[in-house]
Structure 1
Amino acid sequence: MTGERDLQVLLRGMRPELHDGRYVFTTVPGAVPAGLAPVVTVAEPEGLTLVVRQEEADRQGLDYDYLAAWITLRVHSALDAVGLTAAVATALADAGLSCNVVAGFHHDHLFVPHAAADEVLRRLGALAERA
């Protein structure tokens, strides 16, 4: 199933969806601990990065320092599409908002400051309208 490559179509069709909950980035030295259900994992030489619900990290006693909201861009973007990440990151950076992007096979996922989730959704809506 081929994803969309046209940047204007991608921007107009983003349909950002805010997931419930608070998410954190943490790291563990080995495998995913029992009882955790990460929404993202990244293997790095320093350890396994996990993005998990805050309450799961708290229950496991895992350290974190960034409290995020998770937003999925519902448009099916091709992995070789050019410009979507840059356009989203630029729009948010211009507003002083951080954004950590993870590309899945079907969608792009944004992890943004939890307290700013509504502002991020407004900015993404404005970006889509301008496209």
Structure 2
Amino acid sequence: MAGERDLDRLLSGMAPRRAPGTYVFTTVPGSEVPDGLTPVATVREDEGLTLVLPREEADRVGLCYDYVAARITLLVHSDLAAVGLTAAVSTALADAGISCNVLAGYHHDHLFVPADEADRALTVLGGLTRP
């Protein structure tokens, strides 16, 4: 099923929701996820494998990280070819001084913002909703 492409409908229906817990970005050498870890996303880079995973998992196995984030999912089913949603969201958060790492899944966009800024980020995103 194709997702939504119309920017007005994307913004009015994005329904941002914070996932429980906190998440971290960390890296491991090689290209395989270590046993016992269940990342929500991975990125293969020349320097190693980036893992985005719950903070508790990183702590349990002693992985280092610098960025502790909240995960906000935009519940609207966005088309991967949609134009403008990422720009609108990232610009609004940037204007509020909130960093944001965006990961696009097949069905939804996932925003990782500093954990201590999550409530403020949700307020900013709520302001983007168009009637």
TM-score normalized with structure 2 length: 0.97
Q: 2 CA distance for matches of 1:84 and 1:37?
A: 28
1:6 corresponds in structure 2 to 6
1:35 paired to 2:1: no
- Offset at residue 6 of structure 1 (A): 0.4
Give the 5 Å matches for 1:73-88.
Answer: 73-88=74-89
Distance 1:119 1:57 in 2: 26
Question: Deviation per CA, 1:4-29, whole angstroms, max 9, x where unpaired?
Answer: 00001000000011000010000011
- Aligned pairs for 1:79-98 (under 5 A) are 79-98=80-99
Unaligned runs of 5+ in 1: none
CA deviation digits over 1:26-83, x for unaligned, max 9?
0011211111110011111111100011111011111100000001000000000000
Whole-angstrom CA distance in 2 between matches of 1:69 and 1:128: 20
Distance 2:22 2:106 in 1: 23
Partner of 2:46: 45
Question: What does residue 25 of structure 2 align with?
Answer: 25
Give the unaligned 5+ runs of structure 2.
none
Q: Distance in 2 between matches of 1:17 and 1:48?
A: 27
Give the Cα separation in 1 of the matches to 2:121 and 2:64: 26
Q: Structure 1 length as normaliser, TM-score?
A: 0.97
For 2:11 and 2:25, locate their aligned partners in 1 and report how far apart those are by CA, in whole Å.
27
Paired with 1:22 and 1:119, the residues of 2 have a C-alpha distance of: 16
Moved over 3 A (4+): none
Aligned to 1:100: 101
Q: Number of matched residues? A: 130
Percent identity, aligned pairs only, is: 68
Letter in 2 for 1:83: G
